Chain A
Amino acid sequence: LPLVKFSNSLSFSLQAKMSRPLQAQRLEGTDKNIWVEFVKLAATYSKVNLGQGFPDFPPPDFLKEAFVKALSGENHMMHQYTRAFGHPPLVKILAQFYGKLLGRDLDPMTNVMVTVGAYQALFCCFQAFIEEGDEVIIIEPFFDCYEPMTKMAGGTPVFVPLRPKAPKDGKLMSSKDWQLDPAELASKFNERTKAIVLNSPNNPLGKVFSRGELELIADLCVKHDVLCFSDEVYEWLVYDGKEHIRIASLPGMWDRTVIIGSAGKTFSATGWKVGWTVGPNRLQQHLRNVHQNSVYHCATAAQEAVAQGFQRELELYGKADSYFSQLPKELQQKRDWLVQSLDAVGMKPIVPEGTYFLVADISKFKSDVPDVPDSDEPYDSRFAKWMVKNKGLAAIPLSAFYSGAHKNNYNHFIRFCFAKKEATLKAANDILQKWKQEKTSP
């Protein structure tokens, strides 16, 4: 008998490699990711990185100090688990802050949840509410994760584009000029529509949806009884005196909206990965369910520091000293700088109303990167890769923010991130100027 066992185990070890199909079906069509590729390229080649969206300046001092205080204090329980749905000081201040912004009484325990970045907040929304048979309306161009998250949840993404209106002669295009066609949007709603993802201010265009545009969306949500996942991570980054309007404050919308926010964008600390959802308990309870069965707790110390940051901002709200006033002021200047740089060399910037992104039309630069008619890869992607390898300037192709079928609809634009130090933007300008000179000289 022992002999039989021995020879059996030998043959078993020969078949050691798993032979059956491994990955779950839910991963189908979700494996490609633009960032994996472009982040690597930027890391390898870029001298000036205006690609991935993160600031190259530090978070504000008061936030860094709050973090150090949390870590070095007597209370070493800052290194242990906190409340799973959000560290109490943080959810309390978020409830206060958003309550003030929305004109509502919010309960920190049931109307707010803390997540690992806004990314995980989005994930909870899709997993809690989207399944096979559901359609999700996504406005193009969109932050790329909405599509794979819809698919991973078994849903069907339905795309509707923002369409550019030509600017008046001589004027630069604004993100305002990219608009939804109301009839086209209405045609996307049907009985299978479970949710629409709204991102305002919008990444990558920088569009800040107006009240009228939000009402258009809200009316359809109410009429078709659809949920709204409202990604508002750039809520504080609005320029030229524009107002960020929260769709949840529109009639009929609070009950069907999940608001998503991000400490990374709010406090220039993308590496902290602290985000949140705000909404009615009826929706939040299901987000908590997903959260407790996926990551459960978020890191404690960063939550404590963000809570301190919000406390300060609540006290300074509306004042010149507030970070929420200063940051957009600073970024607006940087935006204007970059707009000037790009315009001067013949790349046509679309002036963003918000976010720290700017999209520019690169049609004039076709000469450096020839068209390849049968190429699978969209033109702007090839252009962006050529640019980072040959000019050391990293940016992201706009086609990255479109669904597969639409990648060639707007394939001569690239996205720049301008949340960068003056020195970085100057260096970008130098590269662009030199490039222009190389093109014009014989």
Chain B
Amino acid sequence: MLFASRSFCFLGVRAYQLRTDLLCRSIKLSASATMAFRHKNTRRIEGLDSNVWVEFTKVAADPSIVNLGQGLPDISPPSYVKEELAKAAAVDRLNQYTRGFGHPSLVKALSQVYERVCGRKIDPLTDILVTVGAYGSLFSTIQALIEEGDEVIIIEPFYDCYEPMVKMAGAEPVFIPLRYKNDGNSTSSADWVLDPAELANKFNSKTKAIILNTPNNPIGKVFTREELQVIADLCIKHDTLCISDEVYEWMVYKGNKHIKIATLPGMWERTITIGSAGKTYSVTGWKLGWSIGPQNLIKHLQVVHQNTLYTCPTPLQEALAQAFWIDFKRMDDPDCYFYSLSRELESKRDRMAQLLQEAGLKPVIPDGGYFMIVDVSTLNVDLSDVDENQPYDYKFVKWMIRSKKLSAIPLSAFCGPETKRQFEKYIRFCFIKKDSTLDAAEVILKNWNKQTA
């Protein structure tokens, strides 16, 4: 049947097309059964297709909705950052491939900034990898160092990608929740802590790594030196890696200090520290991040990178390098963007907290980051008639988007299966928003109780 089609070639293209169409249909019919089975996805991605962002960014895309959901700024990045990109794009060779593991001027700038922060020498060529966002760094790290048979400890609530990435690497996520200290009325992110004994129990000989996120998304917790020491002691005792997601490192508010776990004794050798241009410079759409660590770990991340996307965009890396030089030179100056952004965000944080409190809610005031979680159970919104089999906070956010035109993200998206119930009364707001956005949110929150169900 297949070979017969060739003899029709001489009859011209049209006749050929007709016959092969008929042929095609008959092949389709006979092959359809096997096709369904054979073109199945691999096991590594089984069950990893659903994603809170795909669900909620679609719903919140309506411009009439005040979007405090997904974590992206609607404030402008600093003008010099935008200018540097325009300048870079005008240079011919900067529109072509650069060094795979990171554009030379960028890794040089990163090494200078982080040498200063960490107080140790960082080799730009061997100790740094530039990736597609911090997301890409997390992926490269996990693919390089984690595999089947490994366990990875994840602290809840967690940035949602940690779990699918660990699973995609064939490993087992082991969850441990931050627990609220029942310590009086004020709610600060500092009130959410790990139980040291509970944490110690999670470590065993299969534990390959723990993922740390400080400042934490979504709660905004900034881990203290003592808290980091507890984690570090366990990492050293069990010879475990630490994957430290520090994308919000510059966003810490008064009275708090961001401490890098890699600077604790015995930790540099076993830590990959991850950073993000998107969060540092309010340019999430640049998708540039980096991993910093000892050569003997980074070299494996580099191997993953060279076999996944090879190199990151050049003009963006050059622009980022220039922006870093500008701010590196003023790291002693309060005008440095790393500090000025933090001050700007602190007043937005305080405003957001006030708005929520005035609406009768109890927000958890974050010590860092640009998210704030709030317990909505006090609003007593009855959603029991909503059919969907989803946690309360998913239903609440969907209801709030529809009826209040305000969006947020449900906190159970950031929890493992056991803990979802514990956090399903919380939702997360993002406050890196311009004044007019926060003004619009204020109107909605002030009028919340005025509308009857």
Contacts and interface: CB of A to CB of B under 8 A. Distances in A.
Interface residues of A, number: 92
Classify the secondary structure of B's interface with A: helix
A64 B89 contact: yes
Interface stretch (B133-141, B383-391, B441-449): B133-141
Nearest to B53: A84
A57 B133 contact: no
B35 A55 contact: no
Contacts, number: 255
B133 A296 contact: yes
B2 A119 contact: no
Given A81-B72, A131-B42, A293-B139, A119 B309 contact: yes
A271 B267 CA distance: 36
A223 interface: yes
A52 B97 contact: yes
Given A54-B97, A225-B35, A296 B135 contact: yes
A163 interface: no
A283 B136 CA distance: 23
A208 B315 CA distance: 32
A219 B267 CA distance: 57
B95 A271 contact: yes
Size class of the B contact interface (CB-based, 8 Å):
35 or more
A255 B44 CA distance: 22
Interface string A295-319: 1111111100000000000000000
A210 interface: no
Interface in A59-74: 59, 64, 67-68, 71-72
Interface string A242-273: 00000000011001100000000000111111
B133 A270 contact: no
Contacts of A299: 132, 285-288, 313, 316
Contacts of B77: 76, 79
B304 A22 contact: no
A251 B72 contact: no
Given A271-B314, A285-B49, A16 B38 contact: no
Contacts of B352: none
A297 B236 contact: no
B280 interface: no
A127 interface: yes
A289 interface: yes
Nearest to A285: B49
Contacts of A116: 132, 309, 312-313
Interface of B: 2, 6, 20-21, 23-24, 27-28, 31, 34-35, 38-39, 41-45, 48-49, 51, 53-54, 57, 70, 72-74, 76-77, 82, 85-86, 89-90, 92-100, 132-133, 135-136, 139, 143-147, 161, 164-165, 168-169, 233, 236-237, 239, 241, 265-267, 269-270, 278, 282-288, 296-297, 300, 303-304, 306-316
Given A225-B35, A286-B41, 7 more contacts: A18-B297, A27-B144, A56-B96, A256-B39, A293-B161, A294-B308, A298-B287
5 contacts: A19-B239, A22-B297, A22-B300, A36-B100, A81-B70
Top-5 shortest CB links A-B: A271-B314, A16-B266, A300-B285, A251-B24, A24-B147
